[in-house]
Structure 1
Amino acid sequence: MATSLTAPLELYVQTPQNPTAAPLAKFEPPAGCYVGLWADLDSPDGRSDLDRLTELVGSHAVYFRYNFFRRPENANPWSPFFPAKFVEQLGGEDAAIHLAVEPRIPLKEVTEDLVKEWARQAGALNRPIFMRWASEFNDTVNSWNKDPVLYREKFRLVARIMHEEAPNVAMVWTPMAFSDLKSVMAYYPGQEFVDWVGITLYSKYYWNGDPARVTVNLLPNSRLDVLYQAFADKHPIQVSEYAAEHHSASSSRDLSYFATAKMQQFYFNIMLKYPRIKNINWLNFDMTAADEYKGYPATRRANYNLLKSPSVLKTYQHILSQPYFLKTFNSASRYSYQPIPPALNQNAVVLGYVADARVSSVRYFLDGQLLQKTSVAPFRVQLPTLKAGKHTLKAVANVGSPVQYSFKMP
């Protein structure tokens, strides 16, 4: 076990696949985490971005977009009642679709007939769909925030109909990041109506746009903890939206260094310590250039487009090269991760969970001798063949006190 009280990191060991102990939920992989990507097929730039990213980083297991729920007669080619074309083009055996479905009519006008029509169209395509219904209900700007009782009623209605009429749809209940569990539990419709629990959060350089509050030393995964502790034993968890900004409309600074650090901390810390997070969706979008966001405050407009920062793109490629991150649907990781146990097998692979956001390099000492220095997250090192008996592994990060583990080799 670790001997430091101020450890900047924790050490984990790679093991063969250790599937989730609980029965798997709909679409849940036994081990590993799907990677998802926001995709735009409605504009030439959006289509070319998707094609280019596929060329550079490969496929994704999930593709997502927004869908406005309204009466069919009020739909239009750019905002269809059900986005069948998107689902047909990107969904299939190797990829699921994630639809962020937002009511554009009052919740009380969401009727059984309307929901059944949406379910009929979804079911007819028989593609796997994560339906993120009326998410971020804990944000007061959303009209479905006003009445928790009505929200629960309508979520249950939608879930019941999807489960009956469109078994290819998984229901995802998604608050935005929060710290007080009570603020969202009034909206929770109940375990039988929720297939996955989701969350949306972003890594922004300035907290709420305040230049006096820089978030460089904030671990992005720390904002998952309350939700994870409350729901990971009941549901698989989907990070419905995540991205780290490499440019903000409120500053001329290049924030690529910030984005690369945060995305590595986020994805790799989840890989090591949050086994029930099974789906992460990156919002590949430049809000600083999009016409529809030009009326928003500069502090709310960020550039998350992977193609517009070479270092951010390279980091994303590195993340997706890890076999734990699943680039095809209905797949599973060969590996799982656990804290270093009292006994290790020969040639064990050890990785570092970042417990301090300032960690950028790690030196490993085996039985007092320098084994390896690495500046590449997740700070992986492979132990050599060792004699039977007791050994020590010390990790020294660039900040904080060293951490030392003792283990036996059979």
Structure 2
Amino acid sequence: MVWSPSASPKQTIDDYYPGDNYVDWVGLSMYSVKFFNGDKKQPADYVNPLDLLDYVYEQYADRKPIMISEYAATHFSKAGNEDTTQFAITKMNMLYNGIKLKYPRVKAVHWFSLNTLEDSHSEARKLNNFSLTENMKIREAYRKMVSDPYFLSSVQTDNTNSKLAYRIYEYKNQVIRDNVTATFWAKTYDPKIQKVVVSLDGKQIPDLKQYPFEVSLNTSKLTTGSHQLKAVVYDSKNRVAISKTFVIKTGK
């Protein structure tokens, strides 16, 4: 039994919960659109899809696995007849990489692959193209996203499966002895992050321009001890939105 409300209005979601005895999964339906209700006077591009997930996750994830029952990001908006391919790719990356890093109890994600411009239950809802197959850039971005070993194509019950050994952890002053991938999580006032500039002990690493903002750290080339890893996040106007310096420790 999957109980699956819409992400909004969140104020009344709990009123409709049948109870733990009747629910196996808690689901959620949510979408990333450029404009609310197809109205160019109501921009919606500032909404982070993870903000839509937060409420249900915080309320139910400690006792039920969470399912994104329906998600999609529009790559063409009827409002203004606007191509929004890059918008869709960015929102897709926000959601899937955010799930991987911060929402371990999300156990299933379903993309709502439908061109509502042509196929919808009412004329009023013919506003966006969410299809994964009609836009090759979207299809390739999705293919690349779900090829990440964190995401499984089927339920795995064999604990020896290499994919199940995928480890993600928050750095909390551990001593790093192996080569690791550092992923930077940033959420700012601006929905569009232009780039993240990373430096290690003052030496700049090539700019990161799309989620996931991650770099490989070869600790075998570092001396034992403490090192400074700095990340600077730039907004859509190429202004510094936030910066943070992390001290990491390496050992043999």
Classify the TM-score, shorter chain.
0.7 to 0.9
Alignment of 1:199-238 (within 5 A): 199-238=28-67
Q: CA-to-partner distance for each residue in 1:356-406, whole Å, 9 max, x for gaps? A: 322142221111111332224212211122222111111122221212111
- Of residues 167, 170, 186, the one that matches 1:354 is 186
- TM-score norm. by structure 2 comes to 0.87
Alignment of 1:11-410 (within 5 A): 171-178=1-8, 180-181=10-11, 183-290=12-119, 293=121, 295-297=122-124, 300-330=126-156, 333-346=164-177, 347-356=179-188, 357-385=191-219, 386-399=222-235, 400-410=241-251
Cα pair 2:90 2:211 within 8 Å, conserved: no
- TM-score norm. by structure 1 comes to 0.55
**Bigger relative contact order (CA 8 A; separation at least 6):** 1
SS class of match (1:316): helix
User: Which range moves more in the overlay, 315-324 or 366-375?
Assistant: 366-375
One-letter identity of the residue aligned with 2:174: A
RMSD value, Cα: 1.8
Cα pair 1:395 1:402 within 8 Å, conserved: yes
Q: What CA distance in whole angstroms lies between the structure 2 residues aligned with 1:378 and 1:289?
A: 33
Shift of 1:409: 1.7
| Structure of higher CA gyration radius | 1
Q: What CA distance in whole angstroms lies between the structure 1 residues aligned with 2:13 and 2:50?
A: 19
Q: What CA distance in whole angstroms lies between the structure 2 residues aligned with 1:250 and 1:297?
A: 12
Shift of 1:249: 3.1
Gapped regions of structure 1 (runs ≥ 5):
1-170
Shift of 1:179: 5.3
SS class of match (1:336): coil
SS class of match (1:260): helix
Q: What CA distance in whole angstroms lies between the structure 2 residues aligned with 1:259 and 1:228?
A: 23
In structure 2, relative to structure 1, the CA distance for the partners of 1:216 and 1:379 (3 Å cut) is same
Runs of 4+ in structure 1 off by over 3 angstroms are: none
Q: What CA distance in whole angstroms lies between the structure 1 residues aligned with 2:87 and 2:206?
A: 26
Q: What CA distance in whole angstroms lies between the structure 2 residues aligned with 1:330 and 1:320?
A: 16
SS class of match (2:169): strand
Cα pair 2:35 2:79 within 8 Å, conserved: no
Cα pair 1:387 1:409 within 8 Å, conserved: yes
Higher strand proportion (structure 1 or 2): 2
One-letter identity of the residue aligned with 2:186: V
Q: What CA distance in whole angstroms lies between the structure 1 residues aligned with 2:48 and 2:98?
A: 9
Aligned length: 236
